[in-house]
Structure 1
């Protein structure tokens, strides 16, 4: 009997590339690889579930898991993308905003209320910066193009004001000061094109993000690897096989990042920078951990915020997100 053939859709990451090239093979599985930008993978899988295994939005995955109907996907605690998001707040200087507290009483745009990056930023605002989310006039619109819609049904809490602007873009509204600020994972065109007065709220965002991590222990997770539910239910063994392969691919990348003999990273002092950053985040530990327990300090508050903000229909426990085959570690 031959191996099971599965399609895998994931962005081009150094720590997953060995799965794509075949250097790492999941036991019992032959992978057909699709490498595309995340926006394409996430949208296609969210609408049609056309891949067997795919990279997906963490917030949208959790939102689907919280609904009454069974989710069409099963999660693995494999997190290919993590990004601190103080860098994701953009302002127009004409608004007079100088700090996070100044966002209270302002019009703030976002591409989707359920975008994972915006969930983390709103969590920071509400729980760290002391800005009530009900104090902001929220506007939802496409980032650079009009017409973007929410992918899931929201259950906004009382007092939240969220107005769709289907015929406008956040970039144009921010440049014209029709909105005072925008929260978005991808920088808007007006910022990239140096529109007058458009800048990040935190110019030295690295400093802010390091301080936030020291206070909270949160290293924001953006994306999660998921399996189509029907594929999982017919082949439950694949969860552990795929998880182990993702771990092996990641672990194979780490020595290359620390290689002083040749430049794996196209930058000076790459290995020193790699060890310096990871020593600050996870001294003596895995600098990019997969699994449930190592990521609890990030995921537990994230799940709380999802429900508080009306993205998740109910409060979720971390263990609910992943199948029993992956809730334990094999030790010899």
Structure 2
């Protein structure tokens, strides 16, 4: 039985597959732990280090464009809304989205998924000219060479959180995409992040009613931001064209078993809240169920210079051939 090294984040809906409770016909899953899992993305893209690996969707598209021999199955293990991810410096005076024009906004790297989704929403929903914003980054992109002219690299070793508190950037993204960490993805990087600001220099949210706005946007557009997909080394698919269908079925079964035990997503409160807010499955798999989100992701990535205008983004181009019923 062939061994398949597999890297996933800590998702209860994928655990039955990693544990071997769900079998993959003809293969044995060998889990590889990488924390944070974002640290595995670069290793997969640059070195093809694993057989199967969770990837950021935009990074996957960029890898495909560069001819890196990866393909994917439409398993999207993680989803997030992003209206709440922009925080403004205490003295920035930013009140509405278009106030970001002409300002300096921090993001870990230009192509991180949260940055792509935030910029897309700012431009399409609020008319913000994102090219008039200077995007300040403190880490490398997984795939280099696609950074536009309005991106500036921090060179003195300070974190985005430090710069935000000092008022040297006007706004920044939160969490792993910005001020919630320091440095490149590595073990313990959350612990190395800057402490929460205290006193009068607390940042404030660009959108105080972020949750309501995010759900409204979803209900109007069907866009539910993707944050991971499952990539496979193309060599394995060429050897076994049935592998993508087997993988998809195994992931779907792993999710089904988790839901049988935890039907309300009790172990993942964020997904539980998102599912209640949209009145639907918080992590739908498959192409048809995710078509609006896939189309938006490709549109935003092209608009932001990360993909060429002519890069094919239809499902047949994005995913390995296989049988992918919505799950």
**TM-score band, normalised by shorter chain:** 0.7 to 0.9
RMSD: 2.4
Q: Return the alpha-carbon distance in structure 2 between the equivalents of residues 266 and 15 of structure 1.
A: 10
Q: Return the alpha-carbon distance in structure 1 between the equivalents of residues 197 and 248 of structure 2.
A: 41
Partner of 1:312: 307
1:244 to 243, 249, 272: 249
Instruction: Please tell me whether the aligned partners of residues 45 and 68 of structure 2 are also in contact (alpha carbons under 8 angstroms).
Output: no
Matches within 5 A, 1:1-332: 3-36=1-34, 37-67=36-66, 70-141=67-138, 148-155=139-146, 161-167=150-156, 168-186=158-176, 187-188=179-180, 189-190=193-194, 192-194=196-198, 196-258=201-263, 265=266, 274=272, 277-278=274-275, 280-283=277-280, 286-314=281-309, 315-319=311-315, 320-326=317-323, 329=325
1:136 CA drift (Å): 1.1
Structure 1 gaps of 5+ residues are 142-147
Q: Return the alpha-carbon distance in structure 1 between the equivalents of residues 62 and 267 of structure 2.
A: 38
Q: Return the alpha-carbon distance in structure 2 between the equivalents of residues 311 and 184 of structure 1.
A: 22
Equivalenced residues, count: 306
Which structure has the highest strand share of the two? 1
Partner of 1:144: none
Q: Return the alpha-carbon distance in structure 1 between the equivalents of residues 134 and 78 of structure 2.
A: 29
Change (3 A) 1:166 1:152: farther
1:288 CA drift (Å): 2.1
1:193 CA drift (Å): 4.4
TM-score normalised by structure 2 residue count: 0.85
Instruction: Please tell me whether the aligned partners of residues 111 and 184 of structure 1 are also in contact (alpha carbons under 8 angstroms).
Output: no
Deviations 1:244-282 (CA, angstroms, capped at 9, x unpaired): 0001111112233336xxxx7369xx7xx94x7535525
